[in-house]
Every structure is written in C-alpha cells, then in structure tokens.
Amino acid sequence: MKTALITGASRGIGRATALKFAKSGYCVAINYNKNTEMAESLRQEIKSLGARAEIFRADISDCSEVQKMVADMKDKFGRIDVLVNNAGIALPQGLFTDFGEDDIKSVFDTNVIGMMNCTKAVTKHMVHNKSGQIVNISSVWGTIGGSCEVIYSASKAAVIGFTKALAKELAPSGIRVNCVAPGLIETDMNSHLTHNEKAEFAEGVALGRIGKAEEVAETVFFLASEAASYITGEVLSVDGGII
C-alpha cells in the first residue's frame, strides 16, 4: 500500500489533504509541530475510515527532527511514495518596513527551509525506488505578489522556483515535482479576516467566492496520481480565477 507524508497536516489544507489520500487507499503519515490533540483527532478520523495513519511530531525547520521523522516513518510504513509540503506560516498583514529580521527568518525557516529539509530527507528513498511524487503548496501571492504580504509572498515565490528546478533534477529518477498555488481558502490561517474582508476579496475572484480546503486537496491528489503522470515542474492555481 502506498504511503503519503503530509506536513502541517493537523488542520486546514493539510488535514483535508490527509483525508483525501486516506479515502483513496493511502497510508498517511501526519506531521505536526504543536497541536498533538488535533493530530491525534485526525488519526482517529482516518482510522474510522478503515485506513491507516500515524502521527509524527517534528519542527520541519529543524533538519535533525525531520531526518528522525522520515526514518521513523520509513520504519513504520516501509516506503515513502508521496510528500506534500504543506506546512507554512504567515505574518499579520503590514508594511514590509514594519517587520524585523526575526519575522523574516521565521517565515523562511518554515516555508522554505522546512520544505527543503523534508524534500531532502525523502528524496534519497524516492531515488532509490526510482519513483515518487512531491507536491509543494505555494500561494497565489507567490505568483502575483501581495501588498502588505511581501515576506509571505517572497517565501511562496521561492517554493515555486524550488519546484521548477527540482522537477528537472529529479525527472531522470522517475520523480515528479509539482506545485499548487491556492487563493484565499477558508482555513484557520485566514480566520482573522472579517466577513466583510472575505466578501471584498471575493469580489476580485471570477467565481465570486473564497475556496475550500477540500478543493485544494483534490488538486494535490490529482498531481500525485497517475492521472498526472506526464506533468512535472508545473504550478497549478486553485484560486477561483483571480481577476
């Protein structure tokens, strides 16, 4: 049975993605950093579906913790077929000049370095097997940039550059690397937005609404599936048609 590692899987897009893979017959490795209760709740939900899941705590910005997580996952499941680099953080909206060095470092440590740590740790297993799928989660702001979201936008643009370059590097080993760039999605990360703010954003979306985590999860699964066997190095936007 194939196995998928989902980082930041305890909530939001990560949780929806973990459930999608579980419902599709995968064993799921649930990575989380702080919220053990939510991670365990997800494990139990997946178990109730008749699928297998295990939780793995790791701060993905710490390379040693990631290496241990991947080694533990390999021991429990025996294989790693899919990596979804979903874990990410954002800062409150504000002018770039209002943020300090620690703010920049915290965002890049998770959104970029953490993604690289996880990818590096699983790649050697995938290369050995001559197969594997990596799906990275970027953002609409990584493709078009967002005013008062400069640091986050820069980190998510780095995810896109990483995806395109790594796809070329790993293609000879039978490994595909793709990226999903969601627009505004109804998740905890955006729970600070008021109803009016969400409505205002939706006015700039062709479909006239914000997205659901499940809609992003469907796209992630597609890119990791055989249905996308001739797709690599691509960025697929799930944003409702930003106007």
Q: What is the mean pLDDT of each run of 10 residues along the chain (243 residues)?
A: 97 97 98 96 97 98 98 96 97 96 98 98 96 98 96 98 98 98 86 78 91 97 98 97 87
- Residues of the domain holding 223: 3-238
pLDDT of residue 158: 98
Number of domains in the chain: 1
- Domain CATH for 174: 3.40.50.720
pLDDT of residue 198: 79
**228 occurs within a structural domain:** yes
**86 occurs within a structural domain:** yes
| Helix count and strand count (H, E) for the chain | 9, 7
Q: How far apart are CA 194 and CA 218, in angstroms?
A: 27
Q: 115-129 and 150-170 are packed helices; what angle lies between their axes, rounded to 10 degrees? A: 10
**212 occurs within a structural domain:** yes
The residues pairing with 54 across neighbouring beta strands, listed in sequence order, are: 29
**60 occurs within a structural domain:** yes
**149 occurs within a structural domain:** yes
**49 occurs within a structural domain:** yes
pLDDT of residue 219: 98
* Amino acid code (one letter) for 158: A
Distance of CA 175 to the CA centre of its chain: 17
**243 occurs within a structural domain:** no
User: Active site residue: 26, 32, 152, 230, which one?
Assistant: 152
- Active site includes 152? yes
**112 occurs within a structural domain:** yes
Residue at token pair 């295990």: 54
pLDDT of residue 187: 78
Q: How far apart are CA 194 and CA 130, in angstroms?
A: 47
